[in-house]
Amino acid sequence: MEDKITLALVVVIIYSIIVLIIGWWAKDRIKSMTDYIVAGRRLGFWLTYGTITATWFCAGTVLGGAAMTYSFGVRGVIMDPIGASVCLVLFSLFFASILRKLKYLTIADFFRVKYGRTMEIVSSVIQVLAYIGWLGGLLVAYSAVFQVLLGLTFEQGVLLGTVITVAYTFLGGMWSVTLTDFVQMILLLAGLIVMIPYVISAAGGWEAITTQIPADAYSILPGENFEYLGYFGMIGLAYYIASWMNQAIGSLSCQDLVQRSLAAKDEKTAKYASFTAGITYATLGMIGPLIGIWARLIITEIEDPNLIIPTLALNLLPAPLFALLTVGLIALIMSSADSSLIIPPSVIVNNLIPMIRPSMDDKTKVLLTRILVIVTAFVSLAIALWAATIYFLTQIAWYLILFAQAIPFIFGIYWRRANRTGAIASVVTNIALWIPFIYYFYQQTEDIWLAIYAPGPFVIPIGAAVFVIASLLTQKKDPPKPLLDIEGKPV
């Protein structure tokens, strides 16, 4: 066992050095904010596809997905990767080409051009909070992998993951992120695929899996009386619909996805890369969750289901394959951590600071963005180490993205009469409705995550209706702005 861990540690060190070398090489390609944030808009199909897939293929998909299916079957991963895959396909079909044509740097640029400064500020603040919180969670995930697979302490794992991610993101920006994401995706998939036959064998073979695991474990439909994740009736149904809707619609305007379509070399690349990523995620993204289901026949009891895959790897895989999976899991976390790390600095420098200092040259912006990469990392590190409550609060920002951005984003792209009044009215309505719904669902379940998540099916339709009505009633007072690209040309 010690030899296995030692080999894995050596391979992780070698891989980390390679990643840092890539970051050092990429820094010479950074000449402007366009280079740093969207890789100069020069990414071909494979790099665009790789960075989208690797970013969405996060620790939650593999570690958390296996934990959810171990307990609830495939219903447990409707949110992610199933709902997230739907989001990628919808984005590719209806938004990727248009956004690439607009040539923005951030999603907040869209809200400024279409709706004005107020919506730009709302979008910017929400994105910054959401990605700082996500990064904090990913740093904790680093530690979980390092603890179980390499024997490091919690603090050592968090610090090591932070240092590696900061170093190459600081140096090369989106170029580093993209180039390393492609490699990380390949490593992750290789590690998971080689694990499959060992898990099947340990479970008693394919015949045991097909006969001993009920077919209901693979169902994506609600159970009897609308049962979903242990809840029944109206609450179970609301939670079920929310799991499809919140990811599929709410993530359409997330900066990490938008940023990658903006980095593609043209509209066609943006469209087909995101579509292919969606199909890949819907299929290969299910490897971890399927292993979680099969693990029921191997692990009858486990204190923390999130450790199912690390535990199986440690006990089943030979040393070389264990090292491969270890690097794959760490690469998996890196691929999401670098993306979440670059977004808050990008949004702050591109959308918030210009309101105070409008005349900054590109060289100063790139320098400030790099400095804020370090600041963002330290804030997320502090959250990961000491502030679980703050982490919980930052996660609320993810749902604010749904309630504040989804409706204005979709209507802003496809409805010419969408205006600033409608956008602000929908945001205010959604937040005002969300709060009492949270209270109601929490009173019914005492589950704060369900209470935050489940209101979506009730809130979003009302918010959409308010958006349309408010926009139509204020067409003369608040004329809709045309959709313009970064150069001010209509699209």
Q: Which amino acid is at 471?
A: S
Could you report the per-residue pLDDT of 438-473, keeping only the tens digit for each? 999 999 999 888 998 899 999 999 999 999 999 999
Q: Is the dihedral of CA 332, 270, 30, 124 positive or negative?
A: negative
Least trusted range by pLDDT, from 37-46, 148-157, 171-180, 387-396: 387-396
Task: Name the residue with tokens 């079909």.
Answer: 93
How far apart, in Å, are the Cα atoms of 140 and each of 84, 330, 382, 435? 22, 12, 11, 29
Alpha-carbon distance 484 to 96, whole Å? 16
Q: 482 — phi, psi (to 5°)?
A: -70, 160
Contact (CB, 8 A) for 444 and 73:
no
Predicted pLDDT of residue 432: 95
Domain boundaries, the chain: 2-388
Average pLDDT for 107-121: 95
**Does the pLDDT at position 65 exceed 80?**
yes
From the list 191, 204, 228, the residue with the least C-alpha distance to 294 is 204
Distance separating alpha carbons of residues 484 and 228, to the nearest angstrom? 43
Q: Share the mean pLDDT of the chain.
A: 87
Residue 358: Cβ within 10 Å count: 7
Q: How many Cα atoms within 13 Å fall on the side-chain side of residue 240?
A: 22
Residue entry with tokens 């593999």: 62
Q: Per residue in 105-136, is it b (16+ CB within 10 Å) or e — as a string?
A: bbbbbbbbbbbbeebbbbbbbbbbbbbbbbbb
Which is higher by pLDDT, 481 or 332? 481
CA distances from 205 to 117, 189, 198 (A): 60, 22, 9
pLDDT confidence of residue 31: 73
The pLDDT score that the predictor gives to residue 290 is 95
Residue 133 banded pLDDT, cuts 50, 70, 90: confident
Mean pLDDT of 103-122: 94
Residue located via tokens 């982490």 = 391
Give the single-character DSSP code of 447. Answer: -
What pLDDT is attached to residue 391?
52
Share of residues in the chain with pLDDT > 90 (%): 48
What are the DSSP calls for 181-207, one per residue?
HHHHHHHHHHHHHHHHHHHHHHTT-HH
Q: What is the mean pLDDT of residues 280-291?
A: 92
- For residues 467 and 418, the answer to whether their CB atoms sit within 8 Å is yes
Residue 392 predicted with pLDDT over 70: no
* CA 320/CA 341 separation, integer angstroms: 31
pLDDT at 341 over 90: no
Q: Return the pLDDT at 400.
A: 81
pLDDT score for 1: 64
Domain 2-388 sits in which CATH superfamily? Answer: Sodium/glucose cotransporter (1.20.1730.10)
pLDDT tens per residue, range 408-417: 999 999 999 9
State the average pLDDT over residues 245-262: 89
SS3 419: coil
Bridge partner residues of 484 (DSSP): 490
The confidence score (pLDDT) of residue 297 equals 95
Secondary structure (H, E, C), 243-294 = HHHHHHHHHHHCHHHHHHHHHECCHHHHHHHHHHHHHHHHHHHHHHHHHHHH
**Number of alpha carbons in the 13 Å side-chain half-sphere of residue 168:** 27
Tell me the helix, strand and coil percentages in the chain, rounded to 5. Answer: 85, 0, 15
C-beta atoms surrounding 31 within 10 Å: 12
CA separation for the pair 261, 256 (Å, rounded): 9
Could you identify the residue written with the tokens 């997230």?
A: 84
Query: Which pLDDT does position 141 carry in this prediction?
Result: 74
Residue 320 pLDDT greater than 70, yes or no: yes
| Residues 195/187, Cβ–Cβ less than 8 Å | no
Residue of higher predicted confidence among 265 and 185: 265
Give the pLDDT score at 397: 65
* CA dihedral sign, ordered 476, 482, 487, 489: negative
DSSP 26: H
What is the C-alpha separation between 73 and 287, in angstroms, rounded? 13
1: three-class secondary structure by DSSP: coil
Q: Which of 335, 327, 333 is nearest to 256 (CA)?
A: 335
The arithmetic mean of pLDDT across residues 113-127, rounded, is: 94
C-beta of residue 164 within 8 angstroms of C-beta of residue 16: yes
pLDDT for position 387: 60
Cα 199 from chain centre: 28
| Cis, peptide link before residue 81, omega less than 30° from 0 | yes
pLDDT interval class at 19 (50, 70, 90): confident
pLDDT of residue 205: 95
What's the pLDDT band for 56 if we cut at 50, 70, 90? Answer: confident
Asked whether the predicted pLDDT for residue 173 surpasses 90, the reply is: no
Separation CA 482–CA 161 (nearest Å): 44
